[in-house]
Amino acid sequence: MPNRSNGGWWRDYQRSLRRGRGKGLAPDRLSFFFVCAGGVFALLAVALLCGSLISQWRSEPQDAGKKTPAAGKPDRTAWEGIIRTREDLWPILKDFDPLLYAGESGRVVHFEGKPLTVKTGLDAAIQSAVAALLKKSQTIKAAAVVMDPFSGRILALAGYDANGGGNEICLQACFPAASLFKIVSAAAAIEVAGLMPESPLYYNGGRYTLYKSQLNDKRSRYTHEVPLKEAFGLSINPVFGKLGSLTLGQDVLNDYAGRFMFNYPIPFDLPLEESRIEVPETAFGLAEIASGFNKRTLISPLHGALFSSAVANGGVMMVPWLVEEVKDESGRTLYRAEPAVMARPVEAATARKLRVLMQETVKGGTCRRTIKRLTRKKPFDAMEIGAKTGTINDPTNTHKVDWLSAYVIDPDRKEGVCIAVMGMHGEKLGIRAPDMGRLILDECIF
């Protein structure tokens, strides 16, 4: 028994433990020795075998076993890795015309002297019908994008320019976003400020004006009270102006603009211009940005479709894709599109609230005279429809630009489409974007 009276009991106890461990480990050490010795012998055997195989390989011709391509056929290894990213598709689709590439069999193009078959996800019937409608729009420029929000597949990509051409308009980020940006502001207000579709908000003055005097939080007998969903559906500028200047601020607006892919490149199979935004520090500048009442927040029609796609798809923004697959002349697949998530700008719960806001636009907001008409017809009467509109003059102040970004989905089956329509009008207004969107949905898609 260790002596505990003089304080040295701990040292005595430790020495007794070491002596006990030493006795018990003697057989284990012997076993460990034999295991190590066996391992050394095994390594020597493997080394001798590898040396023999290497010597044999060196003695054979280096081209042994390599197959020579058949005469007149391309060497398949020459195409390895030719399409690694979506940007590698750009030179292959150099002279892209959606009407020519829409179809089941694909289109043969020649790239670097070799024939390639390019098959897109475009729906030939929808593409042709949308292009025909845009030509009748009586606008200076118009564009429409139809996509599947759940996979990112582009079903139609059509543009019209009174001066000729026009399909490239879908990819040009030179059009003011106008009130489409209220989707971004509403998302920030829901997640950061905790607003709900029924949350009461207040404004003074007109719905569609935006003056500094409308940005104070004073209330009087002339103050209007509206729930958030009504302010969104009717696109009331001073409500969103006050949210931007008094509630959200520069950092939050910058953050949510980035979440919705502003100032970031959007991967696509054709060169797509980057949508731009500059969020200022001043109170009035923040109000302009949040309400979309400015001409410096610029987007492309394709990006406009992605807004509603993220809302319809539970807060998930899929990578948009045009090319389904590319094959060489021997039938080997060089590229195949795979659905992929590009961004998650909002939570699923937020997306559900945004859907309530976008449905209000159809029920009692700016689309009540256009898109709402579809809800009385089949198959729209069994589907969920949401939308957002926007109208503003272009940066030169010579043309009016109007927008529709909308979705029509069966939320239970995760099926449906999103569309974006942009129209640029001259002295005489052509077919407005919401009316064109209704025609596209009714006559071209469903």
DSSP state letter for 291: H
Half-sphere exposure of 274 (CA within 13 A, CB side): 10
Four-residue CA torsion sign, 185, 189, 192, 196: negative
Name residue, tokens 């069999």.
105
| Single-letter code of the amino acid located at 437 | G
User: Distances in Å between the alpha carbon of 253 and those of 26, 211, 229, 262, 389?
Assistant: 71, 20, 19, 11, 20
DSSP state letter for 267: P
Average pLDDT across each block of 10 residues of the chain; the chain has 446 residues. List them in order.
Answer: 39 42 41 46 46 39 32 36 84 94 93 95 97 97 98 98 93 98 98 98 97 94 97 98 98 98 98 98 98 97 98 98 96 95 98 98 97 95 97 94 98 92 96 98 95
Tokens for 216?
A: 């104070």
Backbone angles phi, psi at 202, to 5 degrees: -135, 150
Q: Identify the pLDDT of residue 354.
A: 98
User: How many helices, marked H, and strands, marked E, lie in the chain?
Assistant: 11, 15
Neighbours of 2 (CB within 10 A): 12
User: Shortest CA distance to 256 belongs to which of 266, 264, 265?
Assistant: 264
User: Shortest CA distance to 346 belongs to which of 338, 336, 354?
Assistant: 354
Tokens for 242?
A: 């006050």
The verdict on pTM exceeding 0.95 is: no
Residue ranges of alpha helices (H) inside 345-421 are: 348-363
Task: Please report the DSSP string for 111-150 in residue order.
Answer: ETTEEEEEEE---HHHHHHHHHHHHTS-SSEEEEEEE-TT
Contacts of 298 (CB under 8 A, 6+ apart): 173, 174, 175, 176, 177, 275, 276, 277
Tokens for 380?
A: 């729209």
Distance CA 31, CA 440 (A): 81
User: Distances in Å between the alpha carbon of 356 and those of 28, 167, 190, 312?
Assistant: 72, 33, 12, 11
Half-sphere exposure of 255 (CA within 13 A, CB side): 12
Q: Identify the pLDDT of residue 268.
A: 97
Distance CA 139, CA 426 (A): 7
Residue ranges of alpha helices (H) inside 60-123 are: 98-101
Classify residue 95 by burial, with Cβ atoms within 10 Å: 0-12, 13-18, 19+. Answer: exposed
